[in-house]
Amino acid sequence: MSTFKAPKGTYDLLPPDSAKFLAVREAIAAPLRNSGYGYIETPGFENVELFARGVGESTDIVTKEMYVFETKGGDRLALRPETTAPVLRAVLEANLHKAGNLPVKVWYSGSQYRYERPQKGRYRHFSQVGAEAIGAEDPALDAELIILADQAYRSLGLSNFRILLNSLGDKECRPVYRAALQDFLRGLDLDEDTLRRAEINPLRVLDDKRESVQKQLGDAPLLRDYLCDACKAYHEEVRELITAAGVSFEDDPKLVRGLDYYTRTTFEFVHDGLGSQSAVGGGGRYDGLSEMIGGPALPSVGWALGVDRTVLALEAEGIELELPSTTSVFAVPLSEEARRVLFAKVTELRRNGVAADFSFGVKGLKSAMKSANRSGARYAVIAGERDLAEGVVQLKDMESGEQVAIGVNEIVAELESKLG
């Protein structure tokens, strides 16, 4: 055993459990690839200011949770706590928005890092799959992303999740609401840090999870009562498009999410089987983020779904994914000549697209067949000196137990035929 352990709040993803995580990532990505979204990958660390400006200096992510360090060259960098700001930075840097084909539609899969209090469903290192549609203000785009996330979850067999939906208004109507909310918050019994946060961004207080704070917010003014006509019309069209697609949702007038860049549409996917960490993903529209980080006006919308929490949701519903076997054929040599011959056949099978593995190391038949069983292979190819002298190998069906002799030169074609 190593003297080192994974850092607190992190975990190692190991087989066979890792196959479940890969399947979840693929299920989330599949509808995005079918809808015109191209893959994007950004560095695991960025300039601290990118997150301070984009995510918001008053958010817990920036003030408490970012891993910040200084390089030998004096640059202040942060491990990526979220990926929307880095994706937008990458699109602007590469001038993809100038290619004349807006919106720029991209998806990503990767790790995020936040210094949080570790608990089940909340880690310091976690994985997300996300999607961003950059450069278009269209209710259909908001609806598309919500529908695609719903499709991804249902393709996994999930059913006990809910979609919460709200509108945060825009630069025209939100300032009026902000002032009304600040007036309300100033009359509450809040600690100094919370009152300071209320002066910087009062919507952050609505997102405070402490019971002592939530008890006082029952009569807080609701943003929906302050929406301008344009925001009301935009939000109603999003609702109508989602409803027409057969996707159920709940209106949540207090939903604000945890990031400062959201405008208008905001939504969250929650699963009640996960306890206090019920959010499995979410997102919204962020029309002003591009300007916040020094770019042109690029109205955009996106979401991120947590792979870790989606796996927990599957477990909460008792869903076992049908995972493909990593091995279809397992070769068991019982002599030195058989090792040479079967290794060549395994190599040929792999080149032909058949998942094949080999009994490495010197093992007896019993031990090697245990390895074949553990691999999940459908067929085992066994050969010893007597078999090769007769020009055959033994092909064993691992499900039925049936075993037949097949010509050495016929085994590849025979397996390809049997495996389709």
Q: Distance between CA 211 and CA 382 in Å, rounded?
A: 65
Q: Which domains are delineated in the chain?
A: 18-173+227-316 (3.30.930.10), 329-419 (3.40.50.800)
Q: Is cis: bond before 16, omega within 30 of 0?
A: yes
Q: Distance between CA 187 and CA 200 in Å, rounded?
A: 16
The H-assigned helical ranges of 293-351 are 307-316, 336-351
Q: Which amino acid is at 358?
A: F
pLDDT at 57: 65
Those residues with Cβ within 8 angstroms of residue 230's Cβ, 6 or more apart along the chain or in another chain: 170, 172
Kindly report the number of other CB atoms within 10 A of residue 312's CB atom.
19
Q: Distance between CA 315 and CA 280 in Å, rounded?
A: 13
Mean pLDDT of 87-94: 96
Question: Closest by alpha carbon to 130, among 196, 192, 255, 42?
Answer: 42
This model's pTM is above 0.85: yes
Q: Which amino acid is at 130?
A: G
The H-assigned helical ranges of 245-393 are 289-292, 307-316, 336-351, 365-375, 385-389
Kindly report the number of other CB atoms within 10 A of residue 15's CB atom.
9
Q: Is 108 helix (H, G, I), strand (E, B) or coil?
A: strand
pLDDT at 258: 59
Q: Which amino acid is at 53?
A: R
Q: Distance between CA 248 and CA 241 in Å, rounded?
A: 11
- Partnered with residue 131 across adjacent β-strands are 107, 303
Q: Distance between CA 192 and CA 211 in Å, rounded?
A: 17
- Each residue of 149-202: pLDDT tens digit? 999 999 999 999 999 999 999 988 888 988 898 888 888 888 888 888 888 878
- Each residue of 46-83: pLDDT tens digit? 999 998 887 776 566 777 889 999 999 999 999 999 99
Burial of 81 (0-12, 13-18, 19+ CB in 10 A): buried
- Partnered with residue 300 across adjacent β-strands are 134
- Partnered with residue 127 across adjacent β-strands are 111
CA 31 to chain centre: 13
- Each residue of 1-42: pLDDT tens digit? 678 999 999 999 998 889 999 999 999 999 999 999 999 999
Those residues with Cβ within 8 angstroms of residue 330's Cβ, 6 or more apart along the chain or in another chain: 356, 357, 358, 359, 371, 372, 375, 377, 379, 380, 381
Q: Which residue has the tokens 């600040």?
A: 182
pLDDT at 260: 64
